[in-house]
Chains A and B, each alone.
Chain A
Amino acid sequence: ETGVTQSPTHLIKTRGQQVTLRCSSQSGHNTVSWYQQALGQGPQFIFQYYREEENGRGNFSPRFSGLQFPNYSSELNVNALELDDSALYLCASSLVLAGAETQYFGPGTRLLVL
């Protein structure tokens, strides 16, 4: 039990729609990262938020955007969904003080785009 929760657990959308995925970080953690894991692959870094500011981004389309809130919960938004967006989306929280720290993952949201 990592203390990181995600909602919803599963989601089905159609091409062109928009989706919002939510994550609640472990209490006190100031950093949240989002990853996309396609079937049979390792997770790929989408972006990271630190104290409500985007603090790094992977090689993902601008269709992917995010928010982090003062209570350390966060959202991942994907616009104009494409079939290839079907994946498991994982959020991970960590407490970054003097340096980077271990990331703790939530259970993920499985998104299917039809």
Chain B
Amino acid sequence: AQKITQTQPGMFVQEKEAVTLDCTYDTSDPSYGLFWYKQPSSGEMIFLIYQGSYDQQNATEGRYSLNFQKARKSANLVISASQLGDSAMYFCAMREENYGGATNKLIFGTGTLLAVQP
């Protein structure tokens, strides 16, 4: 069964420094997608970045990059030049393919709470 593991319950980072949030996944499906979402205290899940299992290059979106290591089944999120507004919960998620037609089902990890300190 598909599974997402986030082993860091909480992380601290100084403003303007880079931080890496860990994510490992388990799937036997050769085709899958990996996502990172940010959830501020308001509750809304904000899409940050996507990596397809067949993508040759690591995804980047502004200050966000995804360190995709397929052989190790890891998809770590790197946030460069942290800002105070980056303080939030971060979730790694995998899109389960070929799920009886519900090809858009997302499986989430338990999240990492990031606190950016001034």
Contact = CB atoms under 8 A, between A and B. Distances in A.
A61 interface: no
Interface-centre pick from A57, A94, A96, A102 (highest chain B CB count, 10 A): A102
Contacts of B104: 31, 33, 48, 94, 96, 100-101, 103
Interface stretch (A14-22, A67-75, A76-84, A105-113): A105-113
B45 A90 contact: yes
A33 B4 CA distance: 19
Interface residues of A, number: 33
Contact of B102 (A40, A55, A101, A106): A55
Interface residues of B, number: 28
Given A55-B101, A107-B42, A108-B43, A102 B108 contact: no
B91 interface: yes
A107 B105 CA distance: 19
A106 B108 contact: no
Given A48-B105, A58-B105, A42 B43 contact: no
Contacts of A43: 45, 91, 106, 108
B97 interface: yes
Interface in B83-108: 91, 93, 95, 97, 99-108
13 contacts: A2-B46, A2-B47, A42-B110, A48-B105, A50-B101, A56-B99, A56-B102, A96-B103, A96-B104, A100-B95, A100-B97, A100-B103, A102-B47
